[in-house]
Structure 1
Amino acid sequence: MNKEINDFHINNILKEMSDKDYQGYLLADFSNIKYISNYMPTSFAFCVLKENPVIYASKMDMEIANKTSTIEVKEFESFSEMIAELKGEIKNLAIEPSLEYSTYEKFSDDFKIASEIFINKQRAIKTSDEIAKIDKATEIAQKAFVDLDILSLRESKSFENTSAYELGGLMREYGGEGESFDTILVSGSATSLPHAVPKPKAIDDIILVDWGAKYDGYCSDNTRTMVYSEKQQEIFDIVKESHDNAIKAIKPGIKCCEIDKVARDIISEYGYGDKYIHSTGHSLGLDIHETPSFSTKDETIIEKGMVITVEPGIYLEGDFGVRLEDTVAIDNKARILGNLPAIIE
């Protein structure tokens, strides 16, 4: 099954390369290499995507590469040997924009090189198999969240940092490979910081949890905020209205920035526009942050198969913050992944 999926990805990228007369595409980003080969490097590796693609892996990675890769693997000996092998096949070489300049220099004398983002465009549209993996990661993460029972941890005055660690442990226990990112489980005034770090302190009133699991390499992402005061509830209701309306507005054919505007306009109408300090959402998959995003400047046209978060928030500096986040898979409309209620009681 993995080989079928990898071949599908490779063939789509090769078609785009052919349209622009590239005979090769040099990849060094670990997630991109996994995307087309099923092998996730643990050391440095280079993949040259061509008619007969090949991965040059480090000696310490050869065992895992040979066990997991669906395409040919060779041990990396030197750049000169690698270049000598490729020169007969490749004249025009595309490279990832993120490729280090020092690596680019090693190839620039022998190939006509241009920076291209073929693979990012392909990764934006998920196959049904990829969406199923993100669905499973979401299921694992949400079950762990429910079973952790955050509200009881508040009553028992458990610490933020140990509770975050316990949530990560449950995700692993339920079949996740680990966390998609460092879990945010914070309370009190720390919730006004979008990327707050859990502390060794007792969980306080108003709790924000931003967490996700990884399953077979694919990420999930959710945020829930539990409120206690009348003011907190007021802000929560505004954020939920923004969240719900943004999801309802998602459909193929419109621009990503239009979804950001739907979410942002609602919060602005209530007078909190300047307290909404990040974009409305980001794609995810093998990485927790992929393209495109629901942001003010992203004019990417929404397509079926995209998987993107919707996470509006309001942050009152030094007081508290509220964020509500779900991940949606896009078909004719947006489908929320998982079944976790917005309101946790």
Structure 2
Amino acid sequence: MDVHVDNILKDLEKDDIQAYMLTQFTNIEYISDYRPTSFAFCILKEEPVIYASKMDMEIANRNSTIDVREYESMEMMIGDLKKEGVKILAIEPELAFGTYEKFRDDFSIVSKKYIDKQRMIKSPQEIENIQKATDIAQKSFLELDILNRNDSESVVAFDLVKLMIENGASKESFDTIVTSGANSSLPHAVPEHKSLEQPILVDWGAICNGYCSDNTRTMVYTEFQHEIWDIVAEAHDKAIKVIRPGLKCCEVDKVARDIISEYGYGERFIHSTGHSLGLDIHETPGFSVRDETVVEKGMVITVEPGIYLEGEFGVRLEDTVSIEKRASVIGGLPLNID
């Protein structure tokens, strides 16, 4: 049996729970290698099974490492669970309330994050896929030659996505951000149909073999922009340098946040220092003020401090690190693009 499934079954047994239901596509893919295209219910129990929609049966039977049955009705699925003696059913916290309502009359429902705990630690194969995605994204960024472009933000963003796909990505790992000028102070700015201004901030990533990458670079021009860039770069580098197993995630965040605060811009660092990634672009744990998760070997987490001066400009620098004895930056793209 797959080690991930086996570990979850041990969690269920320890908590006296008979089954765990997954509906999130990437969670099902993580457990079974099958990614639904419409909907599916993965039931982890002594004999795991996936109920797949009729139009997904071919791909499910081809890819899934778990037995697959065609979904006929909610009543059939509930009946199967009751026949097997399931009384307590664990669900993902993200389960839609409408779906939860259909199960709550027949089972005692508990919300569990067993799958999140499993996905925190990446296997060597997962890290290799993240490395491939990063290589594709960084190669594409260099080919974009953004400093010599006279196009609009939206055209540049489109071209970057096109390059990533041409270089082997299945798609972008999130909506590519190319923003410039005053709009760079918006952490999640949307590319506009306007010519590139100064500075230029690009936040982008690729998906390869289902796994995401994530980088951000900011190209600055004026003396003041360079000053802010230097502060963010210091926070970025020193945060990466302290990362090691045994440290709490919030302690890594504090290193980056304290540096930016010492320069007087603490209130302008308006998000967490980083997030895990994998099959999803945002996973747990993250380098944030409130996350007391202990860093472990095998985690893959971004480091992305930023300073955002409303109405003026913003600077963010982001790399993804894999953690063994220390943190190693994935990819070889320099912070300073000139």
TM tier, smaller: over 0.9
Whether 1:98 aligns to 2:90 is no
Q: Does 1:67 align with 2:62?
A: yes
Does residue 84 in structure 1 map to residue 79 in structure 2?
yes
Q: Given residue 6 of structure 2, which amino acid in structure 1 is its aligned partner? A: N
Aligned twin of 1:217: 210
What do residues 142-193 of structure 1 show as CA deviations (whole Å, max 9, x unaligned)? 000011111111xxx1111011011001111111110000000111111111
Shift of 1:135: 0.6
Check if 1:12 corresponds to 2:7: yes
* Cα offset, 1:92, TM superposition: 2.0
Q: Which amino acid aligns with 1:8?
A: V
Equivalent position SS for 1:87? helix
- Give 2:109's aligned residue: 113
Task: Name the SS of the counterpart of 1:197 in structure 2.
Answer: coil
Q: 1:188 is matched with which residue? A: 181
* Residues 315-344 of structure 1 deviation map (CA, whole Å, 9 limit, x = unaligned): 010111000000000111101000000000
Residue 147 (structure 2) aligns with:
151
CA distance in 2, matches of 1:194, 1:123: 26
Amino acid at match of 1:21: D
Could you list the per-position Cα deviations for residues 181-221 of structure 1 after superposition, in whole angstroms to 9, with x for gaps in the alignment? Answer: 00001111111110001111111121100000001111000
Distance of 2:99 and 2:176 partners within structure 1: 34
Aligned to 1:197: 190
* 1:33 alignment partner AA: I
Matched, 1:342 2:338: no
Q: Structure 1, residues 257-289: CA drift from partner, whole Å, max 9, x if none?
A: 001100000000000001101100001111001
- Out of 226, 247, 251, the position equivalent to 1:233 is 226
Which segments of structure 1 move beyond 3 Å, counting only runs of 4 or more? none
Q: Are residue 131 (structure 1) and residue 127 (structure 2) matched?
A: yes
After the TM superposition, which of the residue ranges 214-223 and 83-92 deviates more from structure 2?
Answer: 83-92
How many angstroms does 1:75 deviate by? 0.9
- Unaligned 5+ segments in structure 2 are none
CA distance in 2, matches of 1:166, 1:61: 32
- Same amino acid, percent of matched pairs: 65
Following the alignment from structure 2 to structure 1, what is the Cα–Cα distance between the partners of residues 333 and 9?
40
Number of residue pairs matched by the alignment? 337
User: Which of the numbers 164, 180, 183 marks the counterpart of 2:157?
Assistant: 164
* In 2, Cα distance between equivalents of 1:100 and 1:189: 38
Match of 2:222, as an amino acid? S
Q: What is the SS of the residue equivalent to 1:329?
A: strand
CA deviation vs aligned residue, 1:125-151 (integer Å, no higher than 9, x gap)? 111111111011000000000111111
Answer yes or no: is 1:284 the counterpart of 2:277: yes
* Residue 112 of structure 1, CA deviation: 2.2
Give the TM-score normalised by structure 1. 0.96
Q: Secondary structure at the match of 2:110?
A: strand
219-228 or 201-210: bigger deviation: 201-210
The one-letter amino acid paired with 2:322 is: A
3-state DSSP class of the match of 1:114? strand
Distance in 1 (CA, whole Å) between partners of 2:16 and 2:298 is: 27
User: Which deviates the most, 82-91 or 114-123?
Assistant: 82-91
TM-score calculated relative to the size of structure 2: 0.98
Instruction: For 2:172 and 2:3, locate their aligned partners in 1 and report how far apart those are by CA, in whole Å.
Output: 28
CA distance in 2, matches of 1:225, 1:274: 20
User: Once structures 1 and 2 are overlaid, which stretch shifts more, 20-29 or 265-274?
Assistant: 20-29
Equivalent in the alignment of 1:264:
257
Which residue type is aligned with residue 246 of structure 2? G
| Separation in 2, partners of 1:21, 1:133 | 35
Give the match for residue 25 of structure 1.
20
Query: What residue number does 2:51 align with?
Result: 56
In structure 2, C-alpha distance between the alignment counterparts of 1:202 and 1:109, rounded to whole Å: 57
Once superposed, what is the RMSD of the aligned Cα atoms? 1.0
